[in-house]
Amino acid sequence: MSGAGELAVGIPIALAAAAAFGASGVLQFRSGRQVPEEPAGRPTLLAHLVRIPSWRWSVVLAVLAFALQVAALSLIPLILVQPLLVTGLVWYVLLFAAFAHDRPDRTILLESTLCLFGLAAFLVIADPGRGQGRGLESFWSALLLGIAVVVAVGLCLLAALKLDRRWRPMPLALAAGVCYGVTAGLISSLAFHLDESPWEVFTQWQAYAVLVLGPFGVLLSQNAYQAGPLGAPALAAITVTDPVVAILVGLIWLDEQIRGGPLPALGEALSLVVVILAVGMLARRAPHVKGG
């Protein structure tokens, strides 16, 4: 498939993954309000959640979203896929309003449009290019990534223990976003082995790291949803952290490229700031949970 053909197929797949992630997030947040709160990182929370039908449906949607994400990563660069997943927050806010029987007002629609505009501007200016994805095959590169993940997630969990309950969702959500962003990078690095042989994937350490890091990110996101009265701020933090971390992984470890030079760099930075501000405004405007 040509580069243009891959983009034509990969971008809609990534957007579909974002919609599924957004729908899954709504169900996960609503389910999290129905079970006892557990300390961060304790797997017993999942044992409580699995008994709730809506949470089981959220898992189905999350698995579908993950499969679509993998398909998109096999076609287009990580630096392109992960920012597209930001649109999941728009779906989250709209679906949350639908569940609460509230009609989204013009402000929410305007902020959603601003988010999509900033995202589109970043993708047009950056013009992401696919790299060779072989950086994680080096022991020292893999070790450096592992240390970075442990330190980042560890600091977030430590902050969650020290902070007041009102602020606790943010570090938990940031930790989940780190896990998701690195997981996406690991999956993207495996996509090159799929071209050789599907079975080749199981000989790579990244496949087994995904099996640990992915579920741990899910657990941390559930902790974040439980810890605060609103789901959208937690999802907003995850939504912003995930692509930022993925972009760093793509640039540092996977040899992916974005357009360089002072003016493109300024445009990329400003467009990401617009996305972050729009995500923050969407989170602030998200509806409160009514009756769990």
- Residue range 228-245, pLDDT digits in tens: 555 556 777 787 788 889
Determine the average pLDDT of the residues in 153-171. 85
| CB 213, CB 148: distance < 8 Å | no
Interhelix angle 169-196/53-73, nearest 10 degrees: 50
The CB density around residue 7, as the number of other CB atoms within 10 Å, is: 15
Q: Quote the tokens at residue 58.
A: 């959220």
Higher pLDDT, 196 or 65: 65
Class of residue 24 by CB neighbours under 10 A (exposed 0-12, middle 13-18, buried 19+):
buried
**pTM of the predicted structure, to 2 decimals:** 0.76
Q: Are 258 and 128 in contact (CB under 8 A)?
A: yes
Single-letter residue type at 43: P
In the structure, what pLDDT confidence band is assigned to residue 287 with cuts at 50, 70 and 90?
very low
Sequence-separated (6 or more) residues with CB below 8 Å from residue 240:
86, 177, 275, 276, 279
Mean pLDDT in the chain? 81
Q: Which amino acid is at 222?
A: Q
pLDDT for res 2:
45
3-state secondary structure of 39: coil
The angle formed by the CA atoms of residues 235, 92 and 20, to the nearest 5 degrees, is 100
Q: Which residue has the tokens 């994400």?
A: 69
Listed in sequence order, the DSSP H helices in the chain are 3-32, 44-49, 53-73, 78-84, 87-99, 106-126, 139-162, 169-196, 205-227, 232-252, 262-285
- The amino acid at residue 245 is V
**Residue of 260, 247, 231 whose CA lies nearest to 93:** 231
The mean pLDDT of 213-242, rounded to a whole number, is 76
pLDDT at 144: 93
Element (H, E) at 220: helix 205-227
Structure tokens at 88: 């999941």
Higher pLDDT, 284 or 91: 91
Look at 41-55, 133-147, 160-174, 190-204 and tell me which has the smallest mean pLDDT: 190-204
pLDDT: is 123 or 67 the higher one?
67
Predicted pLDDT at 289 = 36
Residue carrying the six token digits 């996305």: 275
Question: For 56-104, what is each residue's pLDDT tens digit?
Answer: 999 899 899 989 988 888 888 888 888 888 888 778 777 877 777 766 6
